[in-house]
């Protein structure tokens, strides 16, 4: 079951390094989030042992159950290293309360109402939550995310109303294009926005240093365009098999 996970991670890291070098950056500046949705605890452990600390999930239920299963594991087997969970999927407001004490970052904030709920629940958990604003760069109806032109307003509103949120940057999911290079225009647009908003609004609670873009199909192009977090699932764990009812 775990065959090849360590090798896949090494290969992905090499490709990240090459893409970073192409744009004159250091591979060390790109954080690899292993997207572990649908994957077993054993597969996650294999990736963790191969050096991955950051794991991305898109369902609250999966985060809470894996959090419980893997908590003991990380304590026993590591020195100074713990699994960090990233919420990368669409988040319903009524489920925010289950994860504010478990995740290190929420990548998918796209409305003030969601931010206000995260703010409230983070306060109750005694944390300041790191979030990314999800941008729907290609204006796809099927995707969540705020329109590029609405990012500034959302950032301003969150600054105004949400004391327990720290905005760390932007996240985007490129459209499913045939050639990875066709996604470049979207990554480039989100990168420009990231730069501009990070500069214009910079303060303690809006401190942009995370640009989350790129998945298995397109992470090299994303890194070339400035991504410093990539979210890779299939490229690490192989094709996903969705169990019935999941």
Ligand X SMILES: *Cc1c(COP(=O)(O)O)cnc(C)c1O
Binding-site ranges for ligand X (CB under 6 A) = 35, 37, 58, 88-89, 173, 215-217, 231-235
Return the number of the residue (203 or 241) whose C-beta is nearest ligand X.
241
Kindly state the tokens that stand for 83. 């699994």
Nearer to ligand X, 147 or 176 (CB): 176
C-alpha to C-alpha distance for 13 and 34, rounded to whole angstroms:
11
* C-beta of residue 105 within 8 angstroms of C-beta of residue 117: no
C-alpha separations of 78 from 82, 148, 152 in Å: 7, 41, 41
- In whole angstroms, the minimum distance from the beta carbon of 109 to ligand X comes to 13
CB of 214 to ligand X, least distance (A): 8
- 165 or 236: CB nearest ligand X: 236
Q: Shortest gap between Cβ of 5 and ligand X (angstroms)?
A: 14
Q: State the minimum distance, in angstroms, from the CB of residue 101 to ligand X.
A: 22
Q: Which of 179, 172, 169, 170 is nearest to 218 (CA)?
A: 179
Per DSSP, the three-state class of 14 is: helix
Residue nearest to ligand X (CB): 233
Q: Which is nearer to ligand X, 35 or 151 (CB)?
A: 35
Kindly state the tokens that stand for 97: 């309360």
């Amino acid at each position: 079951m775990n065959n090849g996970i360590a090798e896949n991670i090494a290969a992905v890291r090499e490709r990240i390094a090459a893409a970073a070098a192409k744009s004159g950056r250091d591979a060390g500046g790109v954080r690899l989030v292993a997207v572990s949705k649908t994957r077993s605890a054993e597969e996650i452990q294999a990736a963790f042992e191969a050096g991955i600390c950051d794991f991305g999930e898109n369902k609250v239920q999966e985060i809470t159950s894996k959090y419980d299963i893997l908590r003991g594991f990380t304590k026993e087997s590591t020195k100074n290293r713990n699994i960090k969970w990233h919420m990368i999927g669409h988040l319903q407001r009524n489920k925010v309360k289950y994860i504010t004490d478990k995740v290190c970052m929420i990548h998918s904030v796209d409305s003030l109402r969601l931010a206000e709920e995260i703010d409230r629940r983070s306060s109750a958990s005694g944390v300041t939550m790191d979030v990314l604003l999800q941008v729907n760069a290609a204006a796809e109806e099927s995707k969540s995310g705020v329109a590029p032109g609405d990012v500034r307003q959302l950032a301003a509103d969150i600054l105004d109303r949400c004391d327990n949120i720290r905005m760390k940057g932007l996240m985007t999911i490129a459209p499913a294009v045939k050639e990875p290079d066709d996604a470049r225009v979207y990554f480039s647009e989100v990168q420009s926005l990231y730069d501009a908003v990070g500069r214009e609004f910079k303060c303690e609670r809006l401190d942009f240093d995370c640009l989350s873009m790129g998945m298995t199909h397109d992470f090299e192009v994303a890194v070339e365009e400035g991504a410093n977090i990539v979210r890779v699932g299939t490229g690490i764990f192989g094709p996903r098999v969705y169990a019935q009812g999941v």
